[in-house]
Each structure stands twice: as C-alpha cells, then as structure tokens.
C-alpha cells in the first residue's frame, strides 16, 4: 500500500491511501489536489473518509463524489455534505481490503471520529483528523477538556507502532511549546531536531506514531509529575487530570 500526504491550503494534509489501483482519501478539504494525485497514479477513488465537519476537511467532498462516484463515510452526529454513510464508535468500515474501526473522539468538534485499522502492511494505522497532532492536539471548539482528555487517552492506548496520520503540519510549532512545558525531556529534544531537519528538506513530519507521541506530546503526558508541576506554575488552581489538561490547553492557546 502507498500512504501519501497530499498538501492543501497552508498546512493541511489530505491523506491518500492506495494499492496501485484503488484509493481512499481522508478529509478532502479541496478536490483539486486529490483529483490530480488520482490522475497522476491512474487510481480509482473508492472511499472518502471524513473525521469532522470543518470546511478544510469537507470542502472537496461534493466535487470528488461527483467526479469519481466514491462512497463517503462520516461522523453520524455532524453535518457534512450528503449523501454519506453515518458512522459511530463500534462500527466497522471495509475498503481497499482493509478493516477500519470507528472511534468517537469528541473535543475539537462534538461528533469528531477517527479511523483505525490494526493491520495495514504489518502495522496499525490511524487517521485522527484534528484530534491529535504531532506534539499537540486540536483546539477545543465544541467539546470540553474532559471529553478531549478522554479522546486522547483512547488514542494513547493504541499500540505504540500505530502510524498516526494527522490532518495538519503543526509539528514544529507544537514542539516549541512542548519544550517550554518539558525542558528536560530528551526524547522531545531529539525529536525536534529530526523534525527541523525534515522541514528543512521540505518533507512532512508525519506520520508520527503513538509510541513517539506518548514520549513527547505534552497533551498525552498530563499525568507526568514534571508536566503537572509546570502547569501548576502557569495556573495554581489546577488540582486533577481535567484541570491540568484544561490549563495546559489554555497555556498553549496563549503561547507565543
Ligand atoms: Zn478542524
Ligand atoms: Fe483542520
């Protein structure tokens, strides 16, 4: 299988997965770069997977459906361009010979879902939209900190080898904040050097992996004593998992 981050807008990745003949795309905010990629590799688009309703993830759905006849799959409780097959946690989606499980991961939006397959070319694979970013997480537009924390806990519990396909190239900015939170994290420092080199070469920092993220992503590490202490210095009212997570997210929102 081939896994390709198709660039769109300033920093979106529209993930294209194909077997040389058939393809799926995740969160096509724009149809044009996807149609170009399909044409270049002579691919038939079979499925369009959608994680949440934001325009930068849905803007190309109608044009792609019209051009290719692809089946659209999306979150049951969000409004995305119809017709689509509505999915919620526990449901399974078969495409390209793969089996994807649907996970509910509310927080960035209220009905956000993720797509996880335990096996694609020997390792698991996750499409997580704007829930988890490398070194960070999505902003809480519709969900509560408790919801987002539980969504991220769910993703952090996936196997370490899971490749994580995030929808934006936000990694370097996220890591600069992560370093302010955890200045002594050696895994984080090493990962930042790797990512700086990738970006210098014009390459994506993604996919990441769950194993890497649990070592470097402060939003998956809010129960680490060092992070709890750093967040407490930012907001002395923090006293449990949820308040630490909420304050960390607030700190990131105002970080310059
Ligand atoms: Zn979004
Ligand atoms: Fe987005």
Q: How many domains does the chain have?
A: 1
Q: What's the 139 CA to ligand 2 centre distance in angstroms? A: 10
User: What ligand has the least distance to the C-alpha of 11?
Assistant: 2
Give the domain CATH number at 125.
3.60.15.10
Q: What's the 214 CA to ligand 1 centre distance in angstroms? A: 22
Closest by Cα among 31, 82, 36, 86 to 59: 31
pLDDT band at residue 187 using 50, 70 and 90 as cut-offs: very high
User: What ligand has the least distance to the C-alpha of 170?
Assistant: 2
**In terms of DSSP bridges, do strands 123-129 and 71-75 run parallel, antiparallel, or are they unpaired?**
unpaired
Helix (H) or strand (E) holding 225: helix 225-234
Q: Tens digit of pLDDT for each residue in 198-214? A: 999 999 999 999 999 99
Q: What's the 108 CA to ligand 2 centre distance in angstroms? A: 9
Beta-bridge mates of residue 17: 3, 24
Output the furthest CA–CA distance in the chain (Å, rounded): 57
User: Which residues are known to be catalytic?
Assistant: 52, 54, 56-57, 108, 130, 168
Q: Tens digit of pLDDT for each residue in 102-129? A: 999 999 999 999 999 999 999 999 999 9
The whole domain housing 140 covers 2-254
User: What ligand has the least distance to the C-alpha of 142?
Assistant: 1
């Amino acid at each position: 299988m081939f896994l390709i981050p198709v660039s769109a807008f300033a920093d979106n990745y529209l993930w294209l997965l194909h077997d040389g003949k058939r393809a799926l795309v995740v969160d096509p905010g724009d149809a044009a770069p996807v149609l170009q990629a399909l044409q270049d590799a002579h691919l038939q688009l079979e499925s369009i997977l959608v994680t949440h309703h934001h325009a930068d993830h849905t803007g190309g759905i109608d044009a792609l459906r019209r051009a290719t006849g692809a089946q659209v799959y999306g979150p049951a409780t969000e409004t995305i361009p119809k017709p689509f097959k509505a999915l919620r946690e526990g449901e399974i989606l078969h495409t390209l010979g793969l089996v994807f499980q649907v996970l509910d991961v509310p927080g960035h939006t209220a009905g956000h879902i993720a797509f996880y397959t335990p096996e694609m070319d020997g390792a698991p694979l996750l499409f997580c939209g704007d829930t988890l970013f490398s070194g960070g997480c999505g902003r809480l537009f519709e969900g509560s900190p408790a919801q987002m924390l539980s969504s991220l806990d769910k993703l952090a519990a996936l196997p370490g080898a899971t490749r994580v396909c995030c929808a934006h190239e936000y990694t370097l900015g996220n890591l600069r904040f992560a370093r302010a939170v955890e200045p002594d994290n050696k895994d984080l420092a090493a990962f930042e050097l790797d990512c700086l080199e990738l970006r210098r070469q014009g390459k994506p920092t993604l996919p990441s992996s769950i194993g890497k993220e649990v070592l470097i992503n402060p939003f998956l590490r809010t129960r680490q004593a060092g992070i709890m202490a750093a967040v407490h210095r930012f907001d002395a009212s923090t006293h449990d998992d949820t308040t630490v997570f909420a304050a960390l997210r607030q700190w990131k929102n105002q970080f310059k």
